[in-house]
Amino acid sequence: MADHDFGGIRIRHLFKIFGPNASSYIEAVQNGLTKAELNRKYGHVLGLRDINIEMPSGAIQVIMGLSGSGKSTLIRHINRLIDPTAGEVLVDGIDVVKMDETELRTFRRHQTAMVFQKFALLPHRNVLDNTLFGLEVQGVERSKAVDVAMRWLERVGLKGFEEKYPNQLSGGMQQRVGLARALSNDAPVLLMDEAYSALDPLIRTDMQTVLLDIQKEIRKTIVFITHDLDEALRLGDRIAILRDGEVIQQGTSQDIVLRPADEYVANFVKEVNRGRVVQVEAIMQPWQAGAIPGRTTIVAGSTVEEAVRNLASAPDGDVTVVSASGQPVGIVTFRQLASAMVNNQDAEDHRSRPLAAVL
């Protein structure tokens, strides 16, 4: 990694048109020609339209959308497996689009690692040799590569499986190898395109936990693609939602659950367990001078679900929300918490109601 703080990924005014004369139509598309018109009149496919996303360094950026919405097209621009028709892809401040072949090769090897849905393991190599493959390509000395690979295999729970071959492993274990291989590269950017979508639900949840645990230590800039909202909400520090090649909404989990931008997003959000996403500050009444803190307290930043769990033994009481330093900053009732878990509107309503009305 570079010897300065990694600058994250900034995507600016990115457009992708698929077809032999893409550049002839870019101006028309920039001036508003729709995806449908471009296709009908000119037989070209609009992959992405004016994408602007700032992906902060050291965080997980989720890209979510239905099949065909442009997720893979977008992530492949980050290591330039796809060339844009227009726009910039700045990784740590450097525009990937402007790199020449040599720069691009170095960039791909050292700055990015990918985890694929289909694992992409080499069948004739054992787990260890699959894991250190990237290091081998980089020309890292064998004994050092083995050390690094063994460390990551242990970290993803595969200690003892080094000599196995991919076909001797379950899907979940193969994906652990894929993750260990990507982490062994020690690139600051980790690109994961539907990496967990082929896994059974329980295994998938396990793998999410593995990733979140490891991320606490490694603080990579991770771009994680999924079409599953639960996965997006669990993993994403920030989420961008794509439809037909356009960003419909971006923000935190809570932004998206509390304020879906349109019907498309609302449909995604409908079934979600809000209690796991909404934080107590979104529904609390601000603290008023002179009020007496209750016995049950919870730290700001906790979810509604966590607050309800704290109150389970005293469901008639209130929860005092406190700052990290222990100062009371607000108060929520059990009823508010309960309704926040089921009803989207309540979050906004309670906030604007005077404290007296809810006590």
Contact footprint for ligand ADP (CB under 6 A): 18, 45, 47, 65, 67-73
- Shorter beta-carbon distance to ligand ADP: residue 47 or 188: 47
Q: Using CA atoms, how far apart are residues 117 and 239, in angstroms rounded to an integer?
A: 20
Q: Which of 234, 235, 329, 233 is nearest to 282 (CA)?
A: 329
Token code pair at residue 357: 């009305």
Pairing state between β 189-193 and 221-226: parallel
> Closest distance between ligand ADP and the C-beta of residue 62, in Å?
13
Residue 174 binding target from Mg ion, ligand ADP, none, CB below 5 to 8 Å by type:
none
Instruction: For residue 12, give the 3-state DSSP assignment.
Output: strand
Task: Please answer whether residues 219 and 187 qualify as being in contact, where contact means their C-beta atoms are separated by less than 8 angstroms.
Answer: no
Residue 188 binding target from Mg ion, ligand ADP, none, CB below 5 to 8 Å by type:
none
> Closest distance between Mg ion and the C-beta of residue 119, in Å?
15
- Orientation angle between helical segments 171-184 and 201-218, nearest 10 degrees: 20
Which residue sits closest to Mg ion, CB atoms considered?
A: 72
Task: Please answer whether residues 112 and 55 qualify as being in contact, where contact means their C-beta atoms are separated by less than 8 angstroms.
Answer: no
Write out the binding residues for Mg ion, residues 56-75 only, by CB under 5 A: 71-72
Token code pair at residue 161: 């499986």
Token code pair at residue 179: 């993750």
Residue 330 binding target from ligand ADP, Mg ion, none, CB below 5 to 8 Å by type:
none
- Shorter beta-carbon distance to Mg ion: residue 65 or 260: 65
HSE-CB at 84 with a 13 A cutoff on CA atoms is 25
- Shorter beta-carbon distance to Mg ion: residue 225 or 322: 225
Residue 69 binding target from ligand ADP, Mg ion, none, CB below 5 to 8 Å by type:
ligand ADP
- Shorter beta-carbon distance to ligand ADP: residue 71 or 234: 71
- Shorter beta-carbon distance to ligand ADP: residue 64 or 319: 64
Instruction: For residue 325, give the 3-state DSSP assignment.
Output: coil
> Closest distance between ligand ADP and the C-beta of residue 56, in Å?
23
Which residues are at the interface with Mg ion (CB under 5 A)?
71-72
